[in-house]
Homo-oligomer: A and B are copies of this chain.
């Protein structure tokens, strides 16, 4: 369902939300380190309860989080010595395929209806990834996090946050430049009265889209280095289907930062985000790390509050009714990709050709603005 704005935006019926959920794709389920060997982990994937655990070989597994016996969450159980998942109520055990391997106490009896549905999972780059569509075999690898140089001046910071908003709103926010001068006034952009014309150029990527910013002066908050030196950042914002936002800054020879944000749609209006910041600079990583972490969390806290207020307000008004301008360089483009992927997938599952899209028009490929 298309919820972003279009030509007749204000007259559209309400009750619309920018929620699209392509299911034949990898989504982050958890950070590898959050899934141990003895305790299972409960997650929610677009309202579906899922239990994650590691089998005897340490491989992650994912099952529907409901014991077929009395329907309690399997995530309340434990991983048995043989690497099966044991229900905490009556001790039924399940392997990674969801087959029931034991019903304690039961002597011979034909088994029926004791299996649990399983999800395909894989592990890469420090994350466990899940494939939501149980009717298709996974294809392709999960999103690859960018590799930076590995020395004392490079480092990684990871933190996560549950955002009360649609996955689309989270991604649009992560890749939106204009709000930084207002919502993050004084922290990020907007510290200086002087503004400058910038140009944003949008390009299609395979399974994604990017915007490159040209002419952005170097600076952050009150420190506006670029205004004096004339030096500029190289800056890209990117989206990769279905759930990755990425921001990259570079000053050749001085700095490179990538912030890859992996999103798990917990429900239509709640989204878990992992911020994986990888950086290289002239300074030792040990100096940079705490600054990145503190700054990142403070900005994130402000975004999270605004996104929650946005979601609550959209619900109070019974649906989204957005109005975009040329400054919204990525929002509609991301929505088009998500919505189209969902439509094509639904058509494929139904064995039919995808009908004409209901996505909004794209904004112009290049836009000049002040920031």
Contacts and interface: CB of A to CB of B under 8 A. Distances in A.
Nearest to A73: B313
Nearest to A10: B113
Given A49-B313, A89-B182, A183-B88, A103 B327 contact: yes
B306 A68 contact: no
Given A89-B306, A182-B88, A306-B76, A322 B105 contact: no
Interface of A (DSSP majority class): loop
Interface stretch (A140-148, A224-232, A363-371): A363-371
Given A71-B310, A309-B72, A104 B316 contact: no
Contacts of A107: 197, 368-370
Given A49-B316, A113-B10, A314-B71, A327 B182 contact: no
Given A76-B306, A91-B182, A370 B105 contact: yes
Interface in A73-109: 73, 76, 86-91, 103-107, 109
Copies of this protein in the complex: 3
Interface string A1-33: 000010001100000000000000000000000
A288 to B, nearest CB: 29
A320 interface: yes
Interface string A304-325: 0010011001101100111111
A313 B71 contact: yes
A47 B66 CA distance: 28
A70 B326 CA distance: 14
Contact of A109 (B89, B179, B326): B326
A310 B183 contact: no
A237 interface: no
A169 B69 CA distance: 13
10 contacts: A66-B313, A66-B321, A70-B169, A71-B314, A71-B317, A71-B322, A72-B313, A89-B310, A103-B327, A106-B369
Given A72-B313, A105-B369, 10 more contacts: A10-B68, A49-B313, A49-B317, A65-B313, A66-B321, A68-B321, A70-B310, A90-B327, A104-B181, A106-B370
